[in-house]
Structure 1
């Protein structure tokens, strides 16, 4: 778990360095990837590190303030990750399926990213204000106790899980439908400033698929927590941790420019050492 978290942090830092230092990658297309990398870093630093401590020292009780922050940040960052999937899908839809320069603009991308981060932070806050938090023996994480705030739970679930997930699926279906019906138009668009537009879309879709494979098992476990053994929760948490480590690998495998950026940084490190 520690190794996976370390890989997530290094990978998140690496993808940000590659995107912001290489002119070929310093484009709006790659900005959501840098933002998602920041989210992966934050997940590895706080929720994952606390989870590791609880596994190694089951009797340890964190300070109340730290426990509250962890209980609040954990679902928030999950919501941020899910929202990134929708943000990425919408950006690909605007690039491939529309002619609107406004929808393809940097301004729209910035607004989407601001919503991607701000909505989870705002929507989960009512669930945690004034609530008692404690370590859940199954999740091995700080969690709020049983709350009767149904008015806060339903909007948080819709805004951070149901709407982004369903929205992302719908957008990729629309992209696929557009590609199949209008191949000539897609080729004409792909001959513009971004010749790898469809390849990038496939990479983004792969990120979404891997995210669901890694994270949805734990979501199902939480829903049916009373019937799930603690050991199974550990496996689910490990899969969630693995997602952050896999993202930079997917970028390198499926994107030539990012792979070249990795190689450039590696060569620079070797030259510095030698």
Structure 2
């Protein structure tokens, strides 16, 4: 009983100290927060991206899990990513959004610290998912013979475990519960300056490493497609060109999400360690970061033809949308081959079946 009482007393002291720290910091820095206009605009944009992200991730999951043809290893990774993104949007982004609408953090320092660590965990897991999905596609495309030999079950478990264990390691430390302080200029908690090494490792391991993996893998995939044999290009030029355009579009969008969504926040926080920049500047980069968190369904859902069609079917708009896609595809073929010239349009299924690492058909 004495041990339980001492534990409860210690928890009460920690809670009291955290609350006092929150109140003192909040009162001493009053008036240092963002402008009301910036918060209102940021809150509206974040709300739209939050609703879109929750809807699109749930729809992508439903489309994959209810369609037997979509149940492959890559799409299982995408389902895991969708689950992680829904948690990230529903916890971290939602509470930041509430603070923007309320123009203050109203849930106390304990929740504030929990959100900080959840952000590290879920953001890191999301980026590691994207990096490992890129590595998976690189293996399938460029090292297909190796991929055929490995155990798919063990490989899937390893990838899904790694994507969650690596960020989780940053929560296993003795200072957990006393690492953050409330910053009114940002309307949320940040890691204390005494944990500079921790902050640097989070940036390197959870942001820079998976981003580099993703960029390098997509560049390698693009090069592999571009260096396809001349015989393959001559016999199946349209399929090869369509696939190359698809990879280019996906890589371009991923690159934009990283450059415009994730990097600005990391760069500004690393440069402005004393928080001298305008508070409105932090609203802008926080909104960009929140929008980037909602973009994965576009990259891994709508930019994949099969998943996109399954989503259309789930919404009962497949006939209309597929008819429009077919019309645009035929129009594109006519523009490429000349007006009035009859061309053979390969089916989308055949186009998607063209392997990126294949040689000329025998």
TM-score w.r.t. structure 2 length? 0.64
The residue aligned with 2:54 is 9
Q: Which of 154, 157, 176 is matched with 1:129 structurally?
A: 176
- 2:166 matched to 1:119? yes
Counterpart in 1 of 2:91? 46
- Indicate conservation of the 8 Å contact 2:65/2:71, yes or no: yes
SS in 1 for 2:311: helix
Q: Which runs of 5+ in 2 are unaligned?
A: 1-45, 237-241, 318-362
Deviations 1:108-151 (A, max 9, x none): 1321121111111112443851424333223322223222463x
Matched, 1:261 2:306: no
1:230-268 Cα offsets, whole Å, 9 max, x none, are 111111111122123333234454222122111211129
Partner Cα distance (2:230, 2:52) in 1 = 41
The answer for the alignment partner of 1:162 in structure 2 is 208
Q: Shift of residue 12 of structure 1?
A: 1.0
Q: CA RMSD in A?
A: 2.9
Whether the 8 Å CA contact 1:85–1:208 is kept in 2: the answer is no
| Conserved 8 A contact 1:61-1:135 | no
The correspondence of residues 137-148 of structure 1 with structure 2, limited to 5 A, is 137-148=184-195
More displaced 10-residue stretch of structure 1: 22-31 or 161-170: 161-170
In the TM superposition, what whole-angstrom CA distance separates every residue of 1:38-72 from its partner, at most 9, and x where no partner exists? 22211211111111222122344423432221010
96, 106, 112: which one aligns with 1:67: 112
Distance of 1:185 and 1:116 partners within structure 2: 39
Say which of 168, 172, 177 aligns to 2:223: 177
Once residues 264 and 206 of structure 2 are traced to their aligned partners in structure 1, the CA distance between those partners, rounded to angstroms, is 16
Distance of aligned partners of 1:30 and 1:144 in 2 relative to their CA distance in 1, 3 Å threshold: same
**1:92 has 2:137 as partner:** yes
User: Deviation above 6 Å: which 4+ runs of structure 1?
Assistant: 184-187, 196-200
Which deviates more, 130-139 or 21-30?
A: 130-139
For 1:184 and 1:238, the matched residues in 2 are separated by 46
Q: How many residues align?
A: 260
In structure 1, what is the equivalent of residue 286 of structure 2? Answer: 237
- Distance change (3 Å), C-alpha of 1:204 and 1:61: same
Separation of aligned partners in 1, 2:249 and 2:71: 17
| Structure of larger gyration radius | 2
Residues 127/43 of structure 1: CA separation in 2 closer, same or farther (3 Å cut):
farther
Please state how far the C-alpha of 1:95 moved relative to its aligned partner: 0.5
Flag the 1:125–1:204 CA change in 2: closer, same or farther, 3 A.
farther
Q: Distance in 2 between matches of 1:155 and 1:177?
A: 31
TM-score (norm 1): 0.82
**Partner residue in 1 for 2:295:** 246
Tell me by how many angstroms 1:14 deviates: 0.8
Sort the Cα spacing of 1:123 and 1:178 in 2 relative to 1 into closer, same or farther, 3 A: same
Change (3 A) 1:132 1:154: closer
Q: Is the 8 A contact 1:203 1:250 kept in 2?
A: no
Question: Match of 1:193?
Answer: none
2:78 to 28, 33, 43: 33
SS at match of 1:142: strand
- CA pair 158-15 structure 1, distance change in 2 beyond 3 A: same
